[in-house]
Amino acid sequence: MQDVRSTFKDHGLRCTRQRELVYQALASSKAHPTADELFQALNPERDDPDEAGLSLATVYNTLEAFSCAGLIRKIPAPDGKGPCRYDADLSDHAHAALPDGRLVDVPPDLSRKLVPRLSGELARELTARLGFEPGRFSVQVIVHPRDERDCRCLDAGPDCCKG
């Protein structure tokens, strides 16, 4: 694996100790943390005023800089309201947004089937109709709460699972 310093250099980013810490914390997580979650992971002793950790603003700004440089992926909340999540895994893989707010990777074999189906013919059609070429596809599967998903009523109305 490439060392962090040359990874930063490849993306035109200056290497600082703080940036290294933020990147390593993100790269070692599979949870797609928010800036706040990463901040908490980096500052377990933050109740101690003598513990000079990273500020939330620093973590946030660092993640933004990484995202702008293409070093990490920034994943908006499915409803567009909640906080963004971040992923240091740049491979083309799909995500599943769970009802409890977690974001998990779709297993690699399924991602490999899903993502390429959106490129090829569909990418050509998009280019023809929109007039610009899609760069890459970001796939997010929104998972419904369990009781909705388990509903097997054939003519499921909005109230069929209640009561």
Binding site for Zn ion (CB under 5 A): 87, 89, 105
CB of 95 to Zn ion, least distance (A): 5
Nearer to Zn ion, 35 or 58 (CB): 35
Phi, psi of 27 (to 5 degrees): -65, -25
Residue 142 burial (CB < 10 Å; 0-12/13-18/19+)?
A: exposed
Nearer to Zn ion, 13 or 26 (CB): 26
CA distances from 4 to 16, 65, 106, 118, 156 (A): 10, 15, 26, 32, 52
CB of 12 to Zn ion, least distance (A): 23
CB of 97 to Zn ion, least distance (A): 11
Token pair 């998903």: residue: 149
Nearer to Zn ion, 59 or 87 (CB): 87
Return the residue nearest Zn ion (CB atom).
87
Torsion of CA 27, 31, 32, 36, to 10 degrees: -100
Nearer to Zn ion, 42 or 115 (CB): 115
Nearer to Zn ion, 53 or 78 (CB): 78
CB of 91 to Zn ion, least distance (A): 8
The tokens describing 87, both together, are 């992923």
How far is the C-alpha of 46 from the C-alpha of 43, rounded, in Å? Answer: 5
CB of 7 to Zn ion, least distance (A): 18
